Structure 1
Amino acid sequence: MTFMVVMVKGKMGAVQTIKSSLDQSAEYCNMKQATAVIRALGNENIVRESYSSGVDVLLSLRDLQLGAIGDLKVIVPGRRRQFILGEQETSLYCYKAVLLDAKKQTETFVYHCGVFIVPKARAQEWLFASAEGQWHVVESAKAARLIMVFLDSRHANIDMDIIKKDLSPLVKDLEPGNPEEEAPIPFMMAGDGVKQRDILQEATSELTGPMVVEDVVYENADGDQGSMPEKMFRRLIFGRSSGLVQSEALLIRDPHSDETDKKNKNASATSKKRRSKKGSKNSLRVDHSFLGSSYHSGIISGLSLVASALGAASTSGEKVSTTVIGLGAGCFPMFLRGCLPFVDIEVVELDPLVAELAKKYFGFSVDEQLKVHLGDGIKFVEDSVAANHSVSNGSGSNAIKILIIDVDSSDLSSGLSCPPENFVEDPFLQKAKEFLSEGGLFIINLVSRSSSVREMVVSRLRAVFEHLYSLQLEEDINEVLFASPSERYLDVNNLDAAVTKLKDLLKFPVDVESDIKKLQRLQ
């Protein structure tokens, strides 16, 4: 018996599953052959369902033109597919893109088709990275079909007019209906959310590359600071990571500057005008009680794991040794100093220019409680371990220690944005374990979009440390890992009580309860 499967290609807007009308009970039916046909149809339908469901299978523009997701001329409400736009032979660049057909087809659309360009600096925001967020963009764009195009490092420093010119012929193939009867496809773009920008300094370092210090006001900033209509933030940006905002600080009015202005109120009108223009900047200072990064808040909240030890140190007057690898703008060490006055902080920064910018623009300062060492962070830990061995002659220390790795990587080829790969390799992890001696916390700010790389890091930490915890931030790509060589100082049996203890110690407000709900034990 020979089976013939007939398929008719129509102009359907979506890929449909194949229905079988085979009667297996018929006398002529060979069950072995029929089973094989039904199995083949089942496999085909699995593929078709995966294409129709919007799963993240990257297609090419050619796949779409050949009907991989149905007829492109037809709007299919709720259709969403990722694909690669552009090829070497047909365009200057390739682009990751998402085709979205509005869920509800109404008569209120402004555009039959639109292109929305997302710069790399904003590609990981929920609004653009998640399916739910993308549908919000479709709704606000008022387009029946929206083609969302994501820029990456390949498009850095390319004029936007060149990008649009390169995209124009590509998106024409994705236009629904009759293009000759429709208006030209508009290009829309997500800005960086900055309403006002004032660049204070641009600098280039041999170690870090180009850096920018700027004051910004965001489009959605709320609240006010005295006579300031909107909140202003100061940012340190590393150019090597496509405009990575390395640090962000809140600016507030300096009451001492306001007093100085009052003393000069009898000056001439001209002098007052000149002084107020200059004083508008002088009257602002960095608020060191503010944490601009949610992962920094996560690090503070994770100290609940050792809250009892911190409380004992605070009561006895003993200082808790805390080492931070990576200074940035110095906002986190300054917050730590003010928030937990009983910690002794040593910061290790490789780049002297980064330290100079932190002091000049972000109010970073050193004293007996907070010191900075210029040099390699790994070598600092190794030297500290060697020094401790020579002093203690191998005897264990009774003091709790905290080691925080908060460094970004200049080499993204490893799949790690933070930290550099050598900070999560076995030799350094072993030294970190020795550094903590009998206990304490080893904290890593981990940023990797590769699940395999993330699992590799976790696996290495598990092999070295007896206890491992993770705090995954929902609104961010950062994950904070907490490791400890022993349970000596850990408050793992009653975290609720530990959270209360930590909050009693903190001098600045931190939403510890919300963060701790996301804490998971990995080992």
Structure 2
Amino acid sequence: MALDKAIFDTITPSRFITFTISNPNPSLSHQLIRVAVLDSPIQLTTGLPRVAAMFVPQNRETDWIFSTESGHLELLLSSPHFSRLILIGNQPSIINCPDSPPVFHRCPIDNSFEQSLKPLVIALSPNTWFKDGNFEIPILRYEDDVVCGVVLEKSVGSFVGEMLVEDVEFVSTTSKREFRRRLRFKRMPNLVQTLIRIVPEVGFELVCVKIGEVKFRPDVGVLVHGYLVPMVASLAMISGYLEERTRVGRPKALCVGVGGGALLGFLKTLLGFQVVGVEVDEEVLRIARQYFGWEDDEFIQVVVGDAIKVLKNLACRGSDWEWGDFGVNGVENDGCVVGSKFDVIMVDLDAGDLRNGISAPPLEFVRKDVLIAAKMVLCDFGVFVINVIPPSRSFYDMLICDFKEVFHELYEIDVENGESFVLIATVSDMVSSLGNHEDTFIMKLRMVISGAYVDSIRKI
């Protein structure tokens, strides 16, 4: 059925239209081009509606970022002040070859292809855009550091929905090649849930390694996901206290949101913590074990369930719980190690709601009753650490006010990626050990993460 051009003359919030046309290049006319037009769910209150176009990078046509409505919405909302984003690329192939997974490689930009479709972009724009005689439509570029990649597995979780695991090679700033394994969810495909470093299995020279042809193994001894390092740096706030705790046993951490388990494994292995993880989707844990180096042992246990319910349950118990209560799948069992309150709670949860763009944490997790429950399960010198991707400055300011009403003091680390912050809330007054170079724990901390984040902690 032919499309009526008139339907594109007005912006209709959240309207999503896709269609295919033949390639305008006569030699490629047998190939189809996919066009997707998405109008923003957020209506601009002033000025004319602004339109932009984006051309899908060649060989990335099947990527959820470019082939799904959720991915399209992320791209649109990450480009402020645009009312419509027109996405154009080759029609994704439906061929599925499980025995030989497709490997994508970065390709140079085809300017001739873009120029040939300029009339189409103009035709898909509201007439009001051209009232001043301006016939130029901004072309947005999708830029990331991925050189090539291959999907290892697509899976479906009962809570998070479709997800995929992929190995990628990143653009290296040094002479050494950089390989990563990452986990993404279809509901927010442009947000990497877990990112770890991988290295080729023994016997492969790095210079000869090719993605899709060589097996890799996880290297869990380093954190590469941007916001995890500042989250760990927050421990510098209580380093003196943690130094005392390590003399009588392992400090205790509660990690809300497990993902691939990179943070939990790092706390246990590199910093000597005993860790309880809370994860709502059991399939995510399977992925973590199979692909991300996750290992169940006596120092890491996981509760499969709703994090808010777990926190409130712990708050009701106070100190009356045992380490063994946190069995696999949340099954309570007899424990032999008497537990105490946690020294640190670390929260890494995305909102899972694209209406306001990528954001974290979920709104329901930062309600006052949840923050009070979290405070109740922390020890007197404990800290509550949370990764925050605010959808707006006003939201962030309101969040800060809520935290200050519940906790004693509040500190911040700017992740310096243009979108996220780490908030550190304290239960009580404390003497920081940031300048104490005799503190063994902080010396260890500076050895395993960048000291720059430790030094950038500021009170707010």
Select the residue among 495, 504, 514 that pairs with 2:434.
Answer: 495
Select the residue among 85, 88, 93 that pairs with 2:11.
Answer: 88
Contact kept? 1:86, 1:94, Cα under 8 Å: no
Q: Show the counterpart of 2:378.
A: 436
Mapped pair 1:336 → 2:267? yes
Select the residue among 485, 501, 517 that pairs with 2:427.
Answer: 485
Mapped pair 1:521 → 2:459? yes
Contact kept? 2:196, 2:218, Cα under 8 Å: yes
SS at match of 2:435: helix
TM-aligned CA deviation for residue 434 of structure 1: 0.7
TM-aligned CA deviation for residue 500 of structure 1: 6.2
Deviations 1:335-364 (A, max 9, x none): 2222102x1011110001111111111111
TM-aligned CA deviation for residue 409 of structure 1: 1.6
TM-aligned CA deviation for residue 165 of structure 1: 6.6
Mapped pair 1:386 → 2:316? yes
Q: Show the counterpart of 2:223.
A: 291
Structure (1/2) with the larger helix percentage: 1
* Distance in structure 2 (CA, Å) of the matches to 1:507 and 1:178: 54
Mapped pair 1:234 → 2:214? no
* Distance in structure 1 (CA, Å) of the matches to 2:366 and 2:438: 28
SS at match of 1:440: strand
* Distance in structure 2 (CA, Å) of the matches to 1:250 and 1:293: 9
TM-aligned CA deviation for residue 155 of structure 1: 6.7
* Distance in structure 1 (CA, Å) of the matches to 2:211 and 2:181: 18
Contact kept? 1:348, 1:375, Cα under 8 Å: yes
SS at match of 2:436: helix
Structure 1 residues 188 and 437: alpha-carbon distance in aligned structure 2, compared to 1, 3 A threshold: closer
Q: Show the counterpart of 1:168.
A: 122
Question: What is the aligned-residue identity percentage?
Answer: 23
Q: Show the counterpart of 2:449.
A: 510
* Distance in structure 2 (CA, Å) of the matches to 1:386 and 1:414: 34
SS at match of 1:336: helix
Contact kept? 1:250, 1:287, Cα under 8 Å: yes
* Distance in structure 1 (CA, Å) of the matches to 2:89 and 2:390: 24
Contact kept? 1:296, 1:332, Cα under 8 Å: yes
Select the residue among 242, 257, 271 that pairs with 1:326.
Answer: 257
State the TM-score, normalizing by the size of structure 2: 0.67
Q: Which amino acid aligns with 2:239?
A: A
TM-aligned CA deviation for residue 177 of structure 1: 9.7
Contact kept? 1:307, 1:498, Cα under 8 Å: no
TM-aligned CA deviation for residue 193 of structure 1: 3.7
Mapped pair 1:253 → 2:200? yes
Q: Show the counterpart of 2:243.
A: 311
Q: Show the counterpart of 1:461.
A: 403
Structure 1 residues 223 and 121: alpha-carbon distance in aligned structure 2, compared to 1, 3 A threshold: farther
Q: Which amino acid aligns with 2:268?
A: R
TM-aligned CA deviation for residue 389 of structure 1: 4.9
Contact kept? 2:77, 2:357, Cα under 8 Å: no
Runs of at least 5 residues in structure 1 that lack an aligned partner in the other structure: 1-84, 97-113, 130-147, 225-229, 263-275
Structure (1/2) with the larger strand percentage: 2
Q: Which amino acid aligns with 1:372?
A: V
Mapped pair 1:370 → 2:300? yes
Moved more, 409-418 or 200-209: 409-418
* Distance in structure 2 (CA, Å) of the matches to 1:456 and 1:158: 44
Structure 1 residues 94 and 497: alpha-carbon distance in aligned structure 2, compared to 1, 3 A threshold: same
RCO higher in 1 or 2 (8 Å CA, sep ≥ 6)?
A: 2
SS at match of 1:294: coil
* Distance in structure 2 (CA, Å) of the matches to 1:175 and 1:219: 42
Contact kept? 2:230, 2:422, Cα under 8 Å: yes
TM-aligned CA deviation for residue 289 of structure 1: 1.6
Contact kept? 1:86, 1:93, Cα under 8 Å: no
SS at match of 1:401: strand
Deviations 1:366-392 (A, max 9, x none): 111111111111121222223335469
Paired residues, number: 362
Q: Which amino acid aligns with 2:122?
A: S
Q: Which amino acid aligns with 1:479?
A: F
Deviations 1:121-151 (A, max 9, x none): 67899xx88xxxxxxxxxxxxxxxxxx9797
* Distance in structure 2 (CA, Å) of the matches to 1:176 and 1:414: 31
Contact kept? 2:39, 2:84, Cα under 8 Å: no
State the TM-score, normalizing by the size of structure 1: 0.59
Deviations 1:152-195 (A, max 9, x none): 7x97999799x97763244996699998xxxx989673244422
* Distance in structure 2 (CA, Å) of the matches to 1:355 and 1:515: 29
Q: Show the counterpart of 2:104.
A: none
TM-aligned CA deviation for residue 245 of structure 1: 1.0
Structure 1 residues 507 and 191: alpha-carbon distance in aligned structure 2, compared to 1, 3 A threshold: closer
Mapped pair 1:244 → 2:191? yes
Q: Show the counterpart of 1:216.
A: 168
Q: Show the counterpart of 2:47.
A: none
Runs of at least 5 residues in structure 2 that lack an aligned partner in the other structure: 1-7, 16-36, 43-51, 57-71, 93-113, 323-338
Mapped pair 1:449 → 2:372? no
Q: Which amino acid aligns with 2:431?
A: D
Structure 1 residues 278 and 430: alpha-carbon distance in aligned structure 2, compared to 1, 3 A threshold: closer
Q: Show the counterpart of 1:137.
A: none
Q: Show the counterpart of 1:82.
A: none
Contact kept? 2:150, 2:212, Cα under 8 Å: no
CA RMSD of aligned residues (A): 4.2
Mapped pair 1:424 → 2:366? yes
Q: Show the counterpart of 1:144.
A: none
* Distance in structure 2 (CA, Å) of the matches to 1:236 and 1:458: 30
Q: Which amino acid aligns with 2:157?
A: S
Query: Mapping of 1:348-359 within 5 angstroms?
Result: 348-359=278-289
* Distance in structure 2 (CA, Å) of the matches to 1:294 and 1:469: 18
Structure 1 residues 207 and 176: alpha-carbon distance in aligned structure 2, compared to 1, 3 A threshold: same
Contact kept? 2:240, 2:439, Cα under 8 Å: no
Q: Which amino acid aligns with 1:429?
A: L
Structure 1 residues 155 and 501: alpha-carbon distance in aligned structure 2, compared to 1, 3 A threshold: farther
* Distance in structure 1 (CA, Å) of the matches to 2:266 and 2:387: 17
Structure 1 residues 417 and 468: alpha-carbon distance in aligned structure 2, compared to 1, 3 A threshold: same
SS at match of 2:147: strand
SS at match of 1:433: helix
TM-aligned CA deviation for residue 491 of structure 1: 3.0
Q: Which amino acid aligns with 1:209?
A: G
TM-aligned CA deviation for residue 120 of structure 1: 6.4
TM-aligned CA deviation for residue 237 of structure 1: 0.6
Q: Show the counterpart of 2:157.
A: 205
Moved more, 243-252 or 298-307: 243-252
